[in-house]
Amino acid sequence: MRPLLAIALPFFIGSTLIAQTTGPIDAKSMLASLQDIKQKQADSSKSQLLQTITDFTAACSDDGAALNFYVEAVRVTRFVGRDHEDSAFRDWKKDQLDRLKPSAIRTALRYTMLSLQRAAGATDDQIFPDLLGYASDTADILPALDAPAISGKGRGDDQDILREPVSDNIFARWYNIGGQLSALDNWEPVPANIDGIYQKILLPVMRKNRDPRILKYWDNKIITERGRASTETAAFDTDRFNLTRRPALLWSRAEDEVAIGMRDQGVTDMYNLVKAFPAHPDAAKWIAELEGLLAPPAPAPAATGGTAPAASAPAAPAAPPAESGPTPIPGT
C-alpha cells in the first residue's frame, strides 16, 4: 500500500492547494478581457487576409509570376519535410514544368484573389466590375485553357485547377485559407463555372441596375451552346437544341428585357416564342407568365364609410416611349 500512498499523496496535496488558492472569479473583468482578445484576434485575421490578397494580386500579374507562385506552392505543400525533398522536388520540376499551363494557373489565381476580396467583405456591387471582367475574359479563353500545355506530353499536375473549388486548390492549402473560402455566402466556388458566376452575382446586379449588357450574356450563351450542339455527332442533339434549349434561352432573354425596362420588346418576344413553339415543354408556364404581364392591373378598392375620396392630383404628362418598335428575336 505504501507505493500507492506515495503516488496519491502529491495529487491530494496539489488539489488541496488549488482549492485553497482559487478565490471568487471576477466575471466582469474576464468578459472585458475576452472582448479585448476577440478584437485583437479579429484585427490580426483581417490584417493577414489583406496581406494574402496582396500576395495573390502580385502573383496573378502575369503568367510568369503565376507559374513561379504555383511551383513554390507545390514545393511547400508536397515536398517540404519529405525525405530527400530537394532531389524529389527537382525531379518533379523536370517532369512537370513544361506540362503546366501558366495561363490556367493565372486564371485560377485571379479567381482565388476575387474570392478573397469577397471574404474580406466586398459587396455584390463592389466586386461586380472585376468579376464581370474575369467572367468575360475567362469565357473567351476557357477552351484553350483546358488544352494540354504541350501536345503529346499530356496535361500537367495543374489540369484540374480551374475545375476544383478555390477552397480546395493548392493555394488555399498553402495559405491555410480553405475555411474562409468555403464559408462564402452567395458565391460560385469553381473558377471555370462562368454560368454559376453570372447566375449568383452578375445577372442579379445587372437586373437591379437595368444594365443592357445582360442581353449580351444571353446572346453569347446562345451562340456558345449552338456551336457545341453543332459539333455533336447525333442529329438528335442538334434538334433538341433548336426545338427545346434555344427557345428556353430566348425566353430567359425576353424575361430580362422586361426586367431592365424593355417591357414592350420583351413581351413581344415572349408572344412570338409561344406562337412559334406551342409544343415546347415549358409552353404552359410561358403562357401563364405572359398572361400575367398582359392582364390589366386590378382596380383600386372603392372608398367605404361615406367619406368622400380625396381629390387626386392632376395626371402627369405621359413620358415618351423608352424604346423603338419591336425587333426580331435574336437568332430567329
pLDDT tens readout for residues 86-121: 999 999 999 999 999 999 999 999 999 999 999 999
Residue 134 has pLDDT above 90, yes or no: yes
**pLDDT on residue 305:** 56
Band of pLDDT at residue 316, cut at 50, 70 and 90: very low
CA torsion 73-74-77-78 (nearest 10°) is -170
Question: pLDDT at residue 69 above 90?
Answer: yes
pTM of the predicted protein model: 0.76
319: pLDDT strictly greater than 50 = no
Q: Look at residue 246 and tell me whether its pLDDT is greater than 90.
A: yes
- The string of DSSP letters for 163-215 reads TS-GGGSHHHHHHT-HHHHHT-SS----TT-HHHHIIIIIHHHHHHHT-THHH
Q: Taking a C-beta distance cutoff of 8 angstroms, is the pair 192, 218 a contact?
A: no
Q: Mean pLDDT throughout 40-47? A: 74
DSSP H helices in 60-177: 63-74, 85-96, 102-119, 124-145, 170-175
Cα 32 to chain centroid, rounded: 39
Say whether pLDDT at 67 is over 60: yes
Q: Which grid coordinates belong to 266?
A: 420583351
Q: What is the pLDDT of residues 225-244, one digit of tens each?
A: 998 888 766 666 788 899 99
The pLDDT confidence band at residue 152, using thresholds 50, 70 and 90, is: low
Q: Rounded CA gap, 112 and 164, in Å?
A: 11
Query: What is the model's pLDDT at position 232?
Result: 66
**What CA–CA distance (Å, rounded) separates 251 from 100?**
41
